[in-house]
Amino acid sequence: MARIVMKFGGTSMAGTERIRRVAKIVKQQADAGHEVAVVVSAMAGETDRLINFCREASSLYDPAEYDVVVASGEQVTSGLLAISLQSMGADARSWLGWQMPINTIEAHARARIQDIDAMPMVQAMQQGQIAVIPGFQGVSMEGRVATLGRGGSDTSAVAVAAAIKADRCDIYTDVDGVYTTDPRIVAKARKLKNITYEEMLELASVGAKVLQTRSVGLAMKTGVRIQVLSSFIEDGAPPADTLPGTMIVSDEELEGMDMERQLITGIAHDKNEAKITLTRVPDKPGAVANIFSPLADAGINVDMIIQNVGREKGETDVTFTVPKADLPRSMDLLDQAQESIGYNRVIPDTNVAKISVVGVGMKSHAGVASTMFSSLADRGVNIIAITTSEIKVSVLIEEDYTELAVRVLHTAYGLDDTVC
């Protein structure tokens, strides 16, 4: 008998019919004698709909009240799943974020989980009751509802798994595992049997939204075993956890498992960045700090940065990227700081995408970046900016070339599934 956390995403929870299918998958595990906690997302599209209501109510909405509104999507699906399980004869109840409680800290709309008091829930699970937990929500230090940021139900699931010392955390979604790239973009994408925490963390952080980045970081820190699998299985199929998904494993585990790993494990793209160029910035000490300090103070994450070769008159152009959602605020802040920075013009550009290749094999092999640059050049794709880490190379390109670039690189690194 095991203690397991099962998490179901928005597409799996989209409507009562799908929730009934989820209930069947959950009940199968409970009937097998396991202690089961289920974490659920809101129905697909619901969180977007709720966010739009907030925007319509006021463009300057209070984040604490935004949390009250958007957390409701998961409250609905957790109640509906508990009802569906009960109607199948299972013992089940919902545990809202404030009831458990899942205590959070920091800002509304991007709260972080501090701790979870899961004792009463575990006792109920030991009595055979299935616990249903709305993902994405917790309670703030002031006793108010708080949400964890988009895609946060993955993080709720991992945090619950760590708190109740679950044997594993199964993330059920609308694809049957982690692929070499988004299978909705590249038909020849290949499913990975295993991927390391480190690689998954990098892939998620550069746009592979199959898992929220924070959930992978938390799993790595707490040693939670994650498996990604599909909730879209046929009636009468064996239990989903016996179907092959993707296991997230440590470096050491992987070494023993997979001798023939490719140099590159996966490719991701991100269309959520915008580029800003400041022209004729004084080329002197302190100039760059003057640009980035106000952005950092406002909590805006700057990602890629290039400072061009200085012009003749001690001036230079500086280009960098920020999240698209932060572009208007960044422009305001740069406008206010024009005098202290001393730039001439600020040029925003939202027509960009970041393409990244990730793989632990890069640590010991040279030439990964040059393959990327030459493959893109051969197809006429211009590179605007580059960043690298120990296991990742990212380039910024024009957004219109995103799909082409991902496909070309997928082939260039030998990742195509030849059976397709």
Cis-peptide into 63, omega within 30 deg: no
Give the binding range for ligand ASP (CB under 6 A) out of 31-39, 147-155, 176-184, 251-259: 147-155
286 CB-near residues (< 8 Å, 6+ apart): none
Give the residue with the Cβ less far from ligand ASP, 7 or 392: 7
Q: Binding of ligand ASP at residue 73 (CB under 6 A)?
A: yes
Q: Judged by CB under 5 A, does residue 151 bind Mg ion?
A: yes
150 binds ligand ASP (CB under 6 A): yes
**Range in contact with ligand ASP (rule: CB under 6 A) among 150-158, 182-190, 203-211, 335-343:** 150-158
Residue 125 C-beta: closest distance to ligand ASP, Å: 22
The entry of ligand ASP, ligand ADP, Mg ion, none near residue 200 (CB within 5 to 8 angstroms by kind) is none
Quick one: how many helices (H) and strands (E) in the chain? Answer: 14, 20
The pairing of beta strand 130-134 with beta strand 168-173: unpaired
CA separation for the pair 9, 22 (Å, rounded): 10
Rule CB under 6 A: say whether 47 interacts with ligand ASP: yes
2 near 167, Cβ under 8 Å? yes
Query: Which of residues 136, 172, 320, 413 is near ligand ASP by CB under 6 A?
Result: 136
42 near ligand ASP (CB under 6 A):
yes
The nearer residue to ligand ASP, 72 or 293, going by C-beta atoms, is: 72
Question: Which residues are at the interface with ligand ADP (CB under 6 A)?
Answer: 9-11, 41, 151, 173-175, 178-179, 181-184, 208-210, 266
- Compare residues 73 and 97 and give the one whose CB is closer to ligand ADP: 73
Q: Is 225 exposed, middle or buried (0-12, 13-18, 19+ CB in 10 A)?
A: middle
Name the maximum alpha-carbon separation found in the chain.
79
- Is 135 a binding residue for Mg ion by CB under 5 A? The answer is no
Spatial CB neighbours of 66, under 8 Å, sequence gap ≥ 6: 51, 54, 108, 109, 147
E strand intervals along 122-265: 130-134, 137-139, 145-147, 168-173, 194-196, 226-230, 246-249
Minimum CB separation of residue 283 from ligand ADP in Å reads 40
210 or 264: whose CB is closer to Mg ion? 210
- Does residue 10 belong to the site contacting ligand ASP (CB under 6 A)? yes
Assess contact for 402 and 269: CB atoms under 8 A: yes
Q: Is 41 in the site for ligand ASP (CB under 6 A)?
A: yes
Which CB sits closer to ligand ADP, 152 or 283? Answer: 152
Angle, CA 198 vertex, CA 194 and CA 202 arms, to 5°:
105
For 32-65, give one letter per residue: b (16+ CB within 10 A) or e.
Answer: eebbbbbbbbbbbebbeebbeebeeeeeebeeee
- Residues of the shown chain interacting with Mg ion in the complex, contacts defined by CB under 5 A: 9, 151
- Residues of the shown chain interacting with ligand ASP in the complex, contacts defined by CB under 6 A: 9-10, 41-42, 47, 73, 135-136, 150-154
